[in-house]
Structure 1
Amino acid sequence: PAPPAGGARPGRRWWDPRERRSLSAAVAALLFAGGVGAGRAMGAGGDAVERSFCFRGTLHLVGSTAFEKTADAIRRGYEALCEDARIEVEPIGSNEGVRALTPENAASTIAMHDGHLEPDSDEIRARGFRGFPVTLVAFAVVVHKDANVTGLTVEELRSVYSDGGPTGWSRFRGGADVPIRMVSRTEGSGTRTIFEEQVLRQPEPELSSRDCRRKDEIRAAARVIRCERSSQNQVLETVNRLPGAIGYAELHVAADGRRYPNVRILALDGRRADAASAAANRYPFAAPEVFYTYGAPPNDSPASAFLTFMASDQARRILRQAGAAPCVSRDTLVSAPCQAT
């Protein structure tokens, strides 16, 4: 594959947000790798623009379960524009998605990852993975409505997950006399990583239950009831049926009241979950969704064409219609919340 415009340094990202570069350089690099002229790809519309980002064949979007709903909206929009293209969305978890990237599938596979990979990770430093921030995703902390809690401070939330913290909701103002049951994501979940690192700033407690209702016999000494589920839908289904349950999931999925009528979204520090205003109101549980490829996508490949599309007005329109906040503005600047810290 062709190197990024301006040259690439071994072991560095194709786009490094910490250097506060305009995404125009990233888009130029991306288009260069895909063999597409920037004028055609970033034009104001028309057949030439559409042809510049359409491919024939199949592209695999693998990874984040939290991003599945939005990814499916992107898939439908793209396939409507490009009738010879097929996109398969495979929600297998952020870390599993990254592990699925290989030199052999670099042309046809993109990993969806909640948040940026560490710049010194093996994927970035040794294997040359390249990231493209797509949209800011807001996550929700949710409880079963019978807990009778509508919001927590971040410090209160941390106390729930800390050693020696409360084991029942009655410890909080207005809380019901029901035990706290933590329903978490499994190890390797991007959402769990963001929750631990960005919100809790500590690991979650040890696993103590398989059914989420009671502690396993061999873990009876554990302080709290804590189980794990492999997808956000499983987390929400469990919170929906268990009084006292607390968990977390992508905001728009968690807000589906018809599917999860007993799930209540908590305000954090008095701030409602909202990706669109996360930067302004400092909502603490939001992160960019980043698309990763194994090196620069090969010329004229499905991955290259699709990433070109993601920098277009059409893609931004689809993201907004799905309730997501695009990371890339029309002048190709990356919004601050989407940059790596």
Structure 2
Amino acid sequence: MKQKKWIALTAILVLSLILTACGSKDTSPGQTNTDTKKEELSGKIVIGGSTALQPLAAAAAAEFMKEHPQVQIEVQGGGSGAGLSEVSNGNFDIGMSDVFAESKSNIDASQLKDYKVAVVGMTAAVNKDAGIKKLSKEDLIKVFTGKVKNWSEVGGKDVKITLVNRPDGSGTRATFDEFALDKQTPAEGITQDSSNTVKKIVNETPGAIGYLALSYFNDDSVVKLAIDGTDATEDNVASGKFPVWAYEHMYTKGDPKPVVKAFIDYMMADPVQSNIVPAQGYLSVTKMQVERDAEGKLTNK
């Protein structure tokens, strides 16, 4: 009787060991245990468009590639118009834009997915020799429409005004024209398609004035203009006191492929939004106390 009981117990123990071993194995070919490291991301991402967003995208891409060495990210400029058209045509994985896709008549916004990754403030950049640090919006419009041609007419030095504009496809220009110039058309001047080049020309040309994202005012080479007595600061943009700002959009054509989605998720995650975004001179969308729709209407959150 004891021998039968011992045999039964042994059989139960052996069966238990077999079941445990089976449970630890893959249930089917190609599957891995939950403890196994996930497959490393790999592939190439091409990003292009807004030069206002370019420094942030490049900084985030550099950190992302450190974490995922098998991913290659190329970040280029070209302006918001190029970002929207090239992502629509499938030439960019991500198109960067300072403006809503809906604002472009040649873009089918219904094909694009919008990710608002940051907010950028913008203001006029003035050559230091002009002797100007602030202007009323009324005088700013007079300067850009050519009604004022010398800085002495608006309280500055006796220096001729040279306008530096962005091309028509620029999101920075669209934002500045709408919210700083009340949609007035600027007079002809020097036209450049790169924010870095605009900054360089304004710095080197006596009396020059252009406009830049706040992230480009990272030294004292040009003057960051106050408008209507309000400084162009992050706090004033966030509260809605300073009106010249735009969302920084990353657009994809439809649902992005996994490696692209992983990068966009990384852009929206707290480490980037709390560290890289402010370090590069941008505002996190979560910090905004106001919001703006595609029609330009401003409302409190």
Q: Shorter-chain TM-score: what band?
A: 0.7 to 0.9
Aligned partner of 1:326: which letter?
A: S
1:153-168 mapped onto 2 (5 Å cutoff): 153-162=136-145, 165-168=147-150
CA offset digits 1:236-264 (Å, max 9, x no partner): 1111111111101121213323xx3xx11
Q: Residue 73 of structure 1: which of 54, 59, 74 is its match?
A: 59
Query: Structure 2 length as normaliser, TM-score?
Result: 0.78
Distance 1:303 1:96 in 2: 19
Whether contact under 8 Å (1:65, 1:93) holds in the other structure is yes
Q: Quote how far apart the aligned CAs of 1:314 are.
A: 2.4
**1:95-174 map, 5 Å:** 95-102=81-88, 104-105=90-91, 109-118=93-102, 121-125=105-109, 128-162=111-145, 165-173=147-155
Alpha-carbon distance in structure 2 between the residues aligned to 1:338 and 1:124:
21
Q: Give the alignment of 1:1-341 within 5 angstroms.
A: 55-102=41-88, 104-105=90-91, 109-118=93-102, 121-125=105-109, 128-162=111-145, 165-173=147-155, 175-207=156-188, 226-257=189-220, 260=221, 263-280=222-239, 282-298=241-257, 300=258, 302-317=259-274, 318-328=276-286, 336-337=290-291, 339-340=293-294, 341=297
Query: Following superposition, which runs of at least 4 residues in structure 1 exceed 3 angstroms of deviation?
Result: 102-105, 119-122, 203-206, 334-341
Matching residue's letter, 2:228? D
- Contact 1:101–1:109 (Cα < 8 Å) also in 2: yes
* Shift in alpha-carbon separation, 1:206–1:338, aligned structure 2, 3 A: closer
What do residues 57-97 of structure 1 show as CA deviations (whole Å, max 9, x unaligned)? 11111001122221111112211222221211111111111
Question: Which gives a bigger RCO, structure 1 or 2 (Cα 8 Å, sep 6+)?
Answer: 1
- CA pair 338-55 structure 1, distance change in 2 beyond 3 A: farther
Alignment partners' CA distance in 2, 1:275 and 1:115: 19
How far off is 1:185 after superposition? Answer: 0.9
Tell whether the 8 Å contact from 2:144 to 2:187 is kept in structure 1 after alignment.
no
SS at match of 1:200: coil
SS in 1 for 2:186: coil
AA in 2 matched with 1:149: I
Unaligned 5+ segments in structure 1 are 1-46, 208-225
Stretches of structure 2 that go unaligned for 5 or more consecutive residues are 1-33
Name the CA distance, whole Å, in 2 between partners of 1:132 and 1:339: 14
Residues 82 and 336 of structure 1, relative CA distance in 2, 3 Å threshold:
farther
Matched position secondary structure for 1:249: strand
Alpha-carbon RMSD: 2.6
Indicate how the Cα distance of structure 1 residues 180 and 288 shifts in structure 2: closer, same or farther if over 3 A, else same: same
CA–CA distance in 1 between the matches of 2:207 and 2:90? 47
| Residues in 2 aligned to 1:67 and 1:276: alpha-carbon distance in whole angstroms | 19
For the 8 Å contact 1:158–1:200, the answer to whether it is kept is yes
SS at match of 1:316: helix
> TM-score by structure 1 length?
0.69
Judged with a 3 Å threshold, the aligned counterparts in structure 2 of structure 1 residues 104 and 147 are, in CA distance, closer, same or farther, namely: closer
| In structure 2, distance between residues paired with 1:267 and 1:327 | 23
CA contact (8 A) 1:327 1:338 kept: no
Cα 1:201–1:289 shift into 2, 3 Å: same
Q: Secondary structure at the match of 1:243?
A: coil
Q: For residue 58 of structure 1, give the secondary structure of its aligned residue in structure 2.
A: strand
Q: Distance in 2 between matches of 1:61 and 1:309?
A: 15
The residue number in structure 2 matching 1:43 is: none
Distance 1:57 1:286, change over 3 A: same
CA distance in 2, matches of 1:119, 1:240: 32
Give the partner amino acid of 2:254. Answer: G
Give the structure with higher Rg (CA).
2
Aligned partners of 1:143, 1:104: CA distance in 2, in Å?
38
Aligned 8 A contact 1:178 1:244 in 2 = yes
Higher deviation after alignment, 313-322 or 55-64: 313-322
